[in-house]
Structure 1
Amino acid sequence: MKKDILRVHLVVLSLLLVIWLVPTNYNFLIWNLFLALIPFDLALTIRYLSVKKKLLFVKCGLTIVWLVFFPNAMYMVTDFSHLSSIGTGLMTEMQFFNYAILAVGVLMGLLFGLSSAHIIGRVYCGTRLPVWTLLFYIVLSFVSAYGIYLGRFLRINSWELVSAPHKVFTLFLTSLSTHSLVFVISFGSLQFALLVLYHMIRRINTD
């Protein structure tokens, strides 16, 4: 298990080095992937504390931090909007390379998000209460979708909930609109579908 976790981080580091050393249009993936990895590592830590049945207060605190950072992983789905910088025709070698870098970065971040949600769901909902797991995914999906909206359109960072709560609250009030509602419904539904599908696939592989 520990070796597998190490390998995952080595794969991420390898991709980050490629993005850093090779000229691409998507250097922002370095920061976005780092943020996407945080909820995954937090989920692993929370699972470890649950297995050891230690430090309940710490586990609850880390879960709140996980929830704050979770949208950063699912946020990466919106990074496909940056395809406009290279065009979508896929006709040139440079387009091939940039598209591959963007796609692997987005999908990697998405997998970190899905995996971390699955881990947290099992920690708090167990494996024998599918209704509670379903409710957990529903709430998480739409809360996360709103977090993505705040990050994508209002450029709010997760840590600003602590460093600048007044700013976040003000922007939250001003963001309540048809535009935000349609986004939250659309991306909340997308996340919910992905979370449920990932959950079912994991169950197939473990049964």
Structure 2
Amino acid sequence: MKKDILRVHLVVLSLLLVIWLVPTNYNFLIWNLFLALVPFDLALIIRYLSGKKGQLLLKLGLTVVWLAFFPNAMYMVTDFSHLSSIGTGLMTETQFFNYAILAVGVLMGLLFGLSSAHIIGRVYGGVLSSTWTVVLSFVSAYGIYLGRFLRINSWELISAPHKVLTLFLTSLSSHSLVFVISFGSLQFALLVLYHMMRRINTD
């Protein structure tokens, strides 16, 4: 288990080094992947604490932090919008490479999010209930909206709560509603499918 966790981080580090050292259009993936890895690592810590006595408050506190950072992982699906920087056709070697880098970064981020949600679900009752999965999906979708369009970061919930609340209230519109419904439904489908596939693999 520990070796697998280490290997996962080495794979991420290797990709980050490639993005850093080789010219691409997607250097922003370095930061986005780091933020996507945070909820995964937090979920692992929470799972570790769940087996320790007297750590309930710490576990609950870290779960709140996990919830604040979880949208950062699912946010990465919106990074496909940056394909426009290389063109939509796959015709040249440069497009091949940039597309591969963007795709692997986005898929890594999504896997970190889905895996972390699965871990948290097992910690708090075996599997995520349908109600919790729906709530998580749509709360996360609004978090993605706030990050993508209003450029709000997770830590601003603590450092600038008034700013976050103000922007949240002013962002309530048909534009945000359609986004939340669309991306909330997408996340719900991915979470449910991921949990079902995990159950199949463990049977």
Runs of 4+ in 1 over 6 A off after TM superposition: none
CA distance in 2, matches of 1:157, 1:149: 11
Q: State whether structure 2 residue 68 is matched by structure 1 residue 72.
A: no
Deviation of the 1:22 alpha carbon: 0.2
Secondary structure of 1:24's partner?
coil
1:45-64 CA deviation, whole Å, 9 max, x = no partner?
00111123441100000000
1:39-98 CA deviation, whole Å, 9 max, x = no partner?
000000001111234411000000000000000000000000000000010000000000
TM-score of the two chains, using structure 2 as the length reference: 0.98
Q: Which of 139, 142, 154 is matched with 1:143 structurally?
A: 139
CA distance in 2, matches of 1:53, 1:4: 26
Matched with 2:192 is 196
Deviation of the 1:133 alpha carbon: 1.7
Deviation of the 1:134 alpha carbon: 1.4
CA distance in 1, matches of 2:181, 2:6: 36
Secondary structure of 2:50's partner?
helix
What is the aligned-residue identity percentage?
88
Secondary structure of 1:52's partner?
coil
CA distance in 1, matches of 2:108, 2:126: 26
* Unpaired runs of at least 5, structure 1: none
Matched with 2:63 is 63
Describe how 1:25-174 pairs up with structure 2 within 5 A: 25-127=25-127, 133-174=129-170
| 1:118 maps to amino acid | H
Do the aligned partners of 1:37 and 1:109 also contact (CA within 8 Å) in 2?
A: yes
CA distance in 1, matches of 2:157, 2:125: 27
Q: State whether structure 2 residue 177 is matched by structure 1 residue 181.
A: yes
The number of equivalent residue pairs is: 203
